[in-house]
Amino acid sequence: MDQLSLSIDAYTQQGLRRSINQDCIGIGSWRGGAGGGTELSLNYLCEQKSELFLLSDGIGGHDDGEIASRFSVDSIFELFQSQEDFDILTAISITHDKLVNIGLGSLRPLGATLVGLIFTKNLVTIFSLGDSACYHLNGDKLVNLTEDVKSSKPHFNVIEQCLGGGITKPNPSIVKRKFKIGDVFILTSDGVSNWADKEQIKMTIQSKQLSFSRKLCSIAKKSGSNDDLSAVVIKIKSL
């Protein structure tokens, strides 16, 4: 990877009506949310051939969401760091099988949504399972790159794509995009994306905020979100 320089900030907080934060952010060795910190801000010069960023959200109504999300992030990062030719589809499949085995026999098996980015040269791979989101801001254009996959059945708001959670095999949405200096990628849990619209997200990123991710979570909270709130903002500074 040719001298990719990134400005990164991340923030997560427990929801107003939550007993524990079930979101988990993974950036290198740092973990935010489930069993981790609250906020991260740094300028980062990528030296590896690729870089990985993850956000996972424990599924409501299932056992130990904070364990599921943290396990998912740790498992995928472990595979990313140990494999020469990392493949996200394989990593998702392995992590899913492990979660299934942990929750075997439970009526509410461990499950977690996932959204993430892999930067390689001037290409980024975006992958997602469930209703966490990834946005790409290019100039004045903000695009949601992820599909919000919920059940079409009458029992509203049921997540059909996830890690674990009782499903047979996850089928992630995968998108590849080129990027350039000045572009911004934003990861959010559904506690933010369901309550902050695209115009609010764009205006926040284009403002002179000191912490974009914290501001996005604050907007969602003021809009009425009681869910756990997490956001990661990644700005491309140089290639």
233 φ, ψ to 5°? -120, 125
Domain holding 131, by residue range, is 5-238
pTM of the prediction? 0.91
Over residues 192-222, the pLDDT tens digits come to: 999 999 999 999 999 987 899 999 999 999 9
pLDDT for 151: 40
pLDDT digits (tens, 9 = 90+) for 120-158: 877 999 999 998 999 999 999 999 998 654 444 433 456
Number of folded domains that form the chain: 1
The per-residue pLDDT for 104 is 65
Mean pLDDT of the chain: 88
CATH number where 64 lies: 3.60.40.10
Higher pLDDT, 117 or 164: 117
